[in-house]
């Protein structure tokens, strides 16, 4: 019997739905966890106001044929005396890890725990949180957790904005402007497809698009190795473009994977 | 089918043999790992000269009915890109953790990996490394690893010295003197059994014995809670006496658990 697993923080949207549907095809028993994990939030972040529409979440799970909704309490996950921390110093060092210092150790620890409880053969994560999915893949390899990790492509709104539970924080005005991040990443990907290999040139093609949106400021726009997340000064192989911006009080992240099966001989 | 597991660093002695025999009674398939884990040694420690009598170890395993001797290489356990670290900041903070700063994260990480590879229902550890066994118990609980941990009482030489693979480092002269550590812990345990509850008084009863052995110096002699390893100023419940000393160039550790089923009403 195959157990499939989709770990979530609830506030399920069509991105989660796509993960659940893909999982449903890959297993006999499908477990979805709904747990707003406190250890991956920093004190100044949005733990308290993070959306928790639990009835809607359960209805979506029921409709999609989920067998088990696992909804542990924080007290059950982190009882008195709990202390173990799982860290991945290399994958977590840059980008989101730099801006959110304890975020990824919170993620790595809770994912290890959830895998120990659910015992899945296969678990699905969204590509939207690219660094997280790279971290989980390295974690499973390093700790011999024996779970197949499937990273599902980002599901987008009609205009291209990556779906996220935090998009509900956007005002109508901000919502319209939010897609600029994706447009910026697309500009970078198109530059690579046109044959640009210089990291700085690709980076300025992306930055150019953001600069056309005065309400938006750049946290980072980077050209990286998809496994190590290290920045690449020259694009000669499969590459991920990672972006994070601020739009008023909101942070948005997104990414595009650029396969290197084109153009010049330098590409694998 | 039950899988039982005894993780070791090889150089097997009668202490390991006792673990293997107890494990043999508790499982269908018995796995013993032999792996001198480099990440739990610090650069100035004895990794290179740690004894590795692999033929004798295999012969002992064969004789005791071990089904699988798992002997991974360091390269297989820690391939390029490996980075994950498992830490237990509270249990590992004091005593051995203070003297050997990265030791317990090395232990916690390799135990998590070995459990992921071997997938045992039950694993056995020696009480000799008391802090290690407390750490593994907390680790399994915290990360929901689902392995029953059995801590087997320390096996001793005829004079009382705790068996250890490192005892081969002792000269004949040092070997004779080494038992003083156990005598010191016994003096502490006897003080508790006589009704002494004051931590400092118990500590000086132990220190008194070591002071009779001029070649020996104290790293620590402590009265602790057996779960948290925090020091106790008053003994009112189950207690572990932890000792570490230096004898010439060698460090010795040992411990005694004092059950609190006696004397005054203060005891549970």
**A82-123, pLDDT tens digit by residue?**
999 999 999 999 999 999 999 999 999 999 999 999 999 999
Residues 6+ apart with CB under 8 A from B204: none
B259: left (phi over 0), alpha (psi -120 to 50) or beta: beta
B250: closest CA of chain A, how far (Å) = 31
Residue A88: predicted pLDDT:
98
| Least CB–CB distance from A138: residue in B83, B139, B228 | B83
Report chain B residues whose CB lies below 8 A from the CB of A109. 143
Partners of residue A83 in chain B, C-beta under 8 Å: 88-91, 138, 142
Ranges of each domain in chain A: 3-152, 165-258
Cβ distance A52 to A29 under 8 Å?
no
Rounded distance, CA A10 to CA A34, Å?
5
Q: What is the DSSP letter of A38?
A: G
Bridge pairing between strands A239-247 and A250-258: antiparallel
- Residues of chain B with a CB closer than 8 angstroms to some CB in chain A: 81-91, 108-109, 112-113, 116-117, 119, 138-139, 142-146, 227-228
Q: For B262, how many CA atoms within 13 A lie in the half-sphere containing its CB?
A: 15
Task: Give the per-residue pLDDT at B262.
Answer: 53
Answer CATH for A165-258 from 3.40.50.300, 3.30.1300.10, 3.10.20.90, 3.10.20.30? 3.30.1300.10
- The Cα A216–Cα A176 span in angstroms is 12
- Mean pLDDT estimate for chain B: 95
pLDDT value at residue B267: 41
Tell me whether residues B83 and A142 touch, CB distance under 8 A: yes
Name which of B93, B143, B227 to mutate to probe chain A: the one with the most chain A Cβ atoms within 10 A of its Cβ.
B143
pLDDT in tens, B84-105: 999 999 999 999 999 999 999 9
Q: Domain spanning B167-258 has what CATH number?
A: 3.30.1300.10
What global pTM score does this model have? 0.95
Q: Annotated catalytic sites of A, by residue?
A: 16
Contact B85 A83 (CB under 8 A): no
Residue in chain B closest to A108 (alpha carbons) equals B84
Residue B207 φ then ψ, to 5° = -60, -35
What the block records as the tokens of B49 is: 């000269």
Region A128-141 average pLDDT = 98
- Residue A220 pLDDT greater than 70, yes or no: yes
Q: What is the pLDDT at residue B100?
A: 96
**Cβ–Cβ below 8 Å for A139 and B91:** no
Mutation for A interface: B83, B104, B110, B138, most A CBs within 10 A: B83
User: A82 and B143: CB-CB below 8 Å?
Assistant: no
Relative to beta strand B250-258, strand B239-247 is antiparallel
Set of chain A residues whose Cβ sits within 8 Å of the Cβ of B82: 142
Q: Which two tokens stand for residue B229?
A: 């390893």
Percent helix, strand and coil across chain A, each rounded to 5? 40, 20, 40
Q: Give residue A260's pLDDT.
A: 65
Element (H, E) at A110: helix A103-118
Report the pLDDT value the prediction gives residue A262, as an integer from 0 to 100: 52
- CA separation, residue B9 to residues A75, B31, B54, B102, B111 (Å): 36, 13, 10, 17, 12
Using CA coordinates, name the residue in chain B closest to A146. B116
Question: What's the burial of A252, exposed, middle or buried (CB within 10 Å: 0-12/13-18/19+)?
Answer: buried
Residue A213 phi, psi (nearest 5) = -120, 90
Question: Shortest Cα distance from B177 to chain A (angstroms)?
Answer: 38
pLDDT at A51 over 50: yes
Average pLDDT over residues A242-267: 81
DSSP E strands in chain A: the ranges are 3-8, 29-34, 68-70, 85-87, 122-126, 148-152, 216-224, 239-247, 250-258
Q: Do A142 and B90 touch (CB under 8 A)?
A: no
pLDDT at A221: 98
- Given this model, what pLDDT does residue B268 score? 36
Alpha-carbon radius of gyration of chain A: 19
Q: Which pair of tokens denotes residue B150? A: 């059995």
Q: How many whole angstroms separate alpha carbon B5 and alpha carbon B111?
A: 11
Put the strands of the sheet holding B239-247 in their side by side order: B216-224, B239-247, B250-258
User: What tens digit of pLDDT does each residue of B28-81 get?
Assistant: 999 999 999 999 999 999 999 999 999 999 999 999 999 999 999 999 999 999
- For A145, the closest of B91, B116, B142 (CB atoms) is B116
pLDDT tens-digit series, residues B205-252:
999 999 999 999 999 999 999 999 999 999 999 999 999 999 988 999
Strands of the sheet with B148-152, listed across from one edge: B68-70, B29-34, B3-8, B122-126, B148-152
Cβ-Cβ contacts under 8 Å, B91 against chain A: 83
- Residues recorded for chain B: 268
CB contact under 8 A, B87 and A88: no
Which of A76, A97, A138, A142 to probe by mutation at the B interface, max B CB count within 10 Å?
A142
Q: What confidence tier does B260 reach under pLDDT thresholds 50, 70, 90?
A: low
**Interface residues on A facing B, Cβ-Cβ cutoff 8 A:** 81-91, 108-109, 112-113, 116-117, 119, 138-139, 142-146, 227-228
ipTM above 0.90, yes or no: yes
* Fold annotation for A3-152: Rossmann fold (3.40.50)
From the CA of A142, how many Å to the nearest CA of chain B? 6
Radius of gyration of chain B (CA): 19
Contact A81 B138 (CB under 8 A): yes
Secondary structure (3-state) at B186 = helix
Instruction: Tell me the chain B residues in contact with residue A143 when contact means C-beta distances shorter than 8 Å.
Output: 84, 86, 109, 112-113, 116
Per-residue pLDDT reduced to its tens digit, A55-91: 999 999 999 999 999 999 999 999 999 999 999 999 9
Q: Which residues does chain B have within 8 Å of residue A90's beta carbon, measured at their own beta carbons?
A: 81, 83
A contacts of B146 (beta carbons < 8 Å): 116, 119
């Amino acid at each position: 019997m195959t157990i499939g697993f989709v770990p979530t923080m609830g506030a399920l949207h069509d991105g989660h739905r796509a993960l659940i549907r893909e999982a449903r095809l890959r297993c006999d028993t499908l477990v979805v966890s709904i747990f707003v994990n406190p250890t991956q939030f920093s004190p100044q972040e949005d733990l308290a106001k993070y959306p928790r529409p639990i009835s809607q979440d359960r209805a979506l799970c029921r409709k999609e044929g989920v067998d088990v909704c696992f909804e542990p309490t924080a007290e059950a996950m982190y009882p008195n005396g709990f202390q173990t921390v799982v860290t991945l110093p290399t994958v977590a060092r840059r980008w989101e890890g730099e801006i959110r210092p304890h975020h990824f150790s919170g993620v790595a620890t809770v994912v290890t725990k959830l895998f120990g409880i659910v015992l899945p053969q296969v678990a699905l994560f969204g590509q939207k949180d690219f660094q997280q999915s790279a971290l989980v893949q390295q974690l499973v390899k390093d700790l011999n957790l024996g779970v197949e990790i499937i990273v599902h492509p980002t599901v987008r709104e009609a205009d291209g904005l990556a779906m996220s539970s935090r998009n509900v924080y956007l005002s109508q005005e901000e919502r319209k402007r939010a897609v600029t991040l994706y447009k910026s990443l697309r500009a970078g990907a198109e530059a690579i497809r046109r044959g640009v290999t210089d990291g700085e040139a690709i980076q300025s093609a992306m930055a150019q698009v953001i600069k056309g949106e005065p309400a938006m400021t750049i946290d980072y726009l980077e050209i990286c190795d998809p496994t190590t997340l290290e920045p690449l000064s020259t694009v000669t192989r499969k590459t991920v473009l990672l972006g994070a911006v601020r739009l008023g009080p909101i942070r948005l992240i997104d990414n595009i994977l650029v396969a290197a099966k084109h153009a010049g001989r330098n590409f694998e």
